[in-house]
Amino acid sequence: MNARVNVHKLKQDICEIGRRLYNRGFAAANDGNITVRIGENEVLCTPTMHSKGFLKPEDICTIDMTGKQIAGIKKRSSEALLHLEIYKARPDVKAVVHCHPPHATAFAVAREPIPQCVLPEVEVFLGDVPITRYETPGGKAFAETVLPFVQKTNVIILANHGTVSYGEDVERAYWWTEILDAYCRILMLARSLGRIHFFDEQKERELLELKSRLGFADPRNWPEYKDCDICANDIFRESWKETGVERRAFPAPPPMGKAKSQQAPANPQNQLDTEALIQMITDQVMAQLQTATPPV
C-alpha cells in the first residue's frame, strides 16, 4: 500500500458519495457499489448487502486485483469484478461508482441510445454514451461487458441494470453518473412536450473544440472518426446489433457534414415512377367523377 495515501480519508469520501447516491435515489436499499484504488494491488470496496446511505469508514473492506478480500470485517460487494476490469483496462482510473439512477436505467431497460447534440454540458462532459449487452450481474462475463467501451468513455450504461462511471477520484466518478441521469430526465421531459431539437454541425464542433481546450478527451476528435457524423452515435453504433440497442423513442439527428454528402443520390427513375403513379391515380379519379351519376 502506498504510505502517502490517506486511506481513512478515502473511506470517508466513499461514505459521502454513498450518501449522495442513496439520497438522490440512485441506489435503493442495498443497491450499488463504490471502489477506490489505493495501490498497485489494493482497492477499497463497499460491502455487500449494506445501504450506501449509511456507510461508515469501518464498513469499507480492501480487496486485491483478483477480487480476493484482504482486509475488512464485512464481505466485499459481489460486483467488484466489474470495477477491477475497468482498473485493469484504464490505469489512469482511481475510482469507480456503480448504481441504478432511475432515468438512465430507464434507457438501459429500453435499450434506447442516448441522443447527442442536444445539451452543451453533456457534449463537453460525457459525449457518446454506450449501452452494454446484458449479462447476469456478479460474474466475469458481466464484468467484461464494459471492455469494448471502457477506453472511449467515462460512463457506461449497463443493459437492464444501471450505470458505471469512473475517474481520477470518487467525486469525479460520481459526477458523470449524476450528469447522465439529469440529462436522461431532461430528454424524457422534452419528449413529453413534443420533440427535441439538435445542434447543427458548426455548433457541435464549437463544443468539441471547447472540450479539447478543457482537457477532456472525446473520440469524435480522434483521426479515425474524422469522417463520422458527429451527432449520430457513430462511436458505438456498431455495437447496437449485439446489444439490442435501437432508436425507438427519440429520432436520429439530421445527417451532418460528410455523412450527408455520402448519402446515396436520389434515383431519377424512382422519381419518374412516383410521378407516373400519381398521374395514373389522378386519371382514374377524374374518370370516376366524369361517369358518376349527377345529383338530383
CB-based burial, 196-217: b 16+ in 10 Å, e otherwise: bebbebeebbebbeebeeeeee
CB 245 within 8 A of CB 134: no
446489433: which residue's cell? 241
H or E element that contains 105:
helix 102-110
CB 64 within 8 A of CB 70: yes
Say how many C-beta atoms besides its own lie within 10 A of residue 170's C-beta. Answer: 23
Single-letter code of the amino acid located at 16: E
Kindly report, residue by residue over 177-194, the tens digit of the pLDDT. 999 999 999 999 999 999
From the candidate CATH numbers 3.30.160.250, 3.40.225.10, 3.60.15.10, 3.40.109.10, the one assigned to the domain spanning 7-193 = 3.40.225.10
448519402: which residue's cell? 263
Kindly report, residue by residue over 205-228, the tens digit of the pLDDT. 999 999 999 999 999 999 999 888
Tell me how far the alpha carbon of residue 27 is from its chain's centroid.
Answer: 18
Query: Distance of CA 237 to CAs 38, 128, 174, 233, Å?
Result: 35, 10, 25, 6
In the chain the beta strands, taken as DSSP E runs, fall at 33-37, 43-45, 61-63, 69-71, 95-99, 155-158, 162-167
What's the CA gap between 40 and 17, in Å, rounded? 23
Residue 13 has pLDDT above 70, yes or no: yes
What's the CA gap between 204 and 127, in Å, rounded? 11
Look up residue 265 and give its DSSP letter.
P
Catalytic residue among 16, 40, 58, 79: 79
Kindly report, residue by residue over 44-78, the tens digit of the pLDDT. 999 999 999 999 999 999 999 999 999 999 999 99
Residue 264 has pLDDT above 70, yes or no: no
Beta-carbon contacts of 213 under 8 Å, excluding residues fewer than 6 positions away, are none
Q: Is 242 a catalytic residue?
A: no
Residue 295: pLDDT band with limits 50, 70, 90: very low
Provide the edge-to-edge strand list for the sheet that holds 33-37: 69-71, 61-63, 43-45, 33-37, 95-99, 162-167, 155-158
Residue 283 has pLDDT above 70, yes or no: no
What's the CA gap between 265 and 260, in Å, rounded? 10
Residue 256: pLDDT band with limits 50, 70, 90: confident
Kindly report, residue by residue over 92-141, the tens digit of the pLDDT. 999 999 999 999 999 999 999 999 999 999 999 999 999 999 999 999 99
Can you give the residue ranges of every domain in the chain? 7-193, 201-234+248-261
455487500: which residue's cell? 48
pLDDT of residue 227: 85
pLDDT of residue 263: 44
What's the CA gap between 274 and 272, in Å, rounded? 5
